[in-house]
Amino acid sequence: MTAALLRIGTRASPMAVSQTGRVARELAAANPELAAPGAIELVKIVTTGDQLQDRKLSEIGGKALFTKEIEEALIAGQVDMAVHSMKDVPTVLPPGLEIACMLKRDDPRDAVMAAGCKSFDDLPAGATIGTSSLRRAAQVLHRWPQLKVVPYRGNANTRLRKLQEGVVDATILALSGLHRIDRLDVISFIMSVEDMLPAVGQGALGVEIRSDDQRARNWLAPLRDEPSEICVNAERSLLMTLDGSCRTPIAALAEIDDEGELRLRGLLAQPDGSQLVQGERRGKPSDGEKLGQDLGLELKKKLPIMPTH
Ligand SMILES: NCc1[nH]cc(CCC(=O)O)c1CC(=O)O
C-alpha cells in the first residue's frame, strides 16, 4: 500500500468525522492529485475533551482540550491538516501553526429540542434545559428566568439520547452540527439570533496547517471563503479583546449584508443571566478585526464585573 499524499487529523466523534469528510471531498474535487483513491487519509484522534465527558468543561481547562492532541500530531508531522469547528479553536494558536482556510459558513444559529414546543415560552416554570454552555445558559436564564439550566455533556448523539430518556425537558445544539450528523429531524424550533446570539465561529469550519507547509496551503486555497473568514475573524478579535475563557458567557455574530457592509453583534453576560450587555458595530469588512476590538472594549466597560478566571 502506498502512503497517502495527505493525512488529515480529526476528532473521532460522528460530527467531526462528517465535517472532515466534507473537507476531504472538497480538497479532492479542487486538486486532481488528491482525487486518486487513497490519496487522502483521515486520522482519528481522541482528545482530552472527548475523554472527560462527565465533567464540566469550564472546570477542566476550557476548549483547548478539543484541539490540543490534534495540534500535537500536526506539529509532530503525523498529520498535515487538522479540521476544526472554528468555535472550538482558541484565539491564540501554538507557534508554527495557522488556520490556512475557513470554508463557507453554515447557518450559525442554535436549535432547541423540546417535545411539543415552538418556543421556550411554551415550557412550564421549572422546566430543565440541559446545557453546559455558559453562553446558552446565560441567555436562556436572562430571557426565561422561570426555566432551570442543568449541566449536560456528551457528544450530540449522547445528548439526544439523554433527552429521549427524560433526563431533561429540553436541550440546545448548534443547527450546523445537527445537520452534519443528519439529525435535523429532532429539532423542535430554531432560535433567532436575537433570542440566542451564537458562539464565536459557530457554524464555520477551519483547517489548520503548519505555517511552513506551502503545499498544504496551496491545496486549501480553492476551498477558502473570504466573507466567512472576515466574519469569523471579526468575532475572534472581539473574543480576544475580552480575553474570553470558558468561564465567561460571550457570544458574537458578524454578517455581511447585501450592501457589503459588515455588521458585528456581541454579547457578554454573567453566567446566571442576572446581567447581560449587548452591542453592535457596522463598518467595512476590511475593518472587521478593528470593529471586533472596539466592540469588545465597549462590552467590557458595560459589564465591568467580569466573572473571575
Ligand atoms: N462544543 C462542541 C461543538 N463544536 C462545534 C459544534 C457545532 C458545530 C459548529 O458550530 O460548527 C459543537 C456542538 C454544539 O455546540 O452543538
Q: Do 52 and 21 share a domain, yes or no?
A: yes
Question: How many Å apart are CA 145 and CA 121, to the nearest integer?
Answer: 11
Q: Cα(202) to centroid of ligand 1, in Å? A: 7
Question: How many Å apart are CA 82 and CA 101, to the nearest integer?
Answer: 11
Position 195 in a domain: no
Ligand 1 atom having least distance to the Cα of 203: 11
Is pLDDT larger for residue 51 or for residue 29? 29
Position 196 in a domain: no
pLDDT at residue 230 above 90? yes
Structural domain that includes position 68: 6-105+204-224
From 50, 80, 88, 169, active-site residue: 88
Instruction: Give the number of domains in the chain.
Output: 3
Question: How many Å apart are CA 197 and CA 189, to the nearest integer?
Answer: 15
pLDDT digits (tens, 9 = 90+) for 32-54: 999 999 999 999 998 777 776 55
pLDDT at residue 137 above 60? yes
Query: Among 13, 60, 88, which is best to mutate for testing ligand 1, by the most ligand atoms less than 8 A from CB?
Result: 88
Domain CATH number, residue 150: 3.40.190.10
Q: Do 147 and 121 share a domain, yes or no?
A: yes
Cell numbers linked to 170: 429540553
Q: Do 16 and 81 share a domain, yes or no?
A: yes
Ligand 1 atom having least distance to the Cα of 172: 16
Position 171 in a domain: yes
Q: Do 12 and 100 share a domain, yes or no?
A: yes
Quick check: is 88 catalytic?
yes
Ligand 1 atom having least distance to the Cα of 108: 10
Which contiguous run of DSSP H or E holds residue 55?
none
Residue 176 CB less than 6 A away from ligand 1: yes
Q: Do 185 and 44 share a domain, yes or no?
A: no
* pTM value > 0.80: yes
ipTM above 0.85, yes or no: yes
- Which DSSP string corresponds to 237-291? HHHHHTT--TTS-EEEEEEE-TTS-EEEEEEEE-TTSS-EEEEEEEE-GGGHHHH
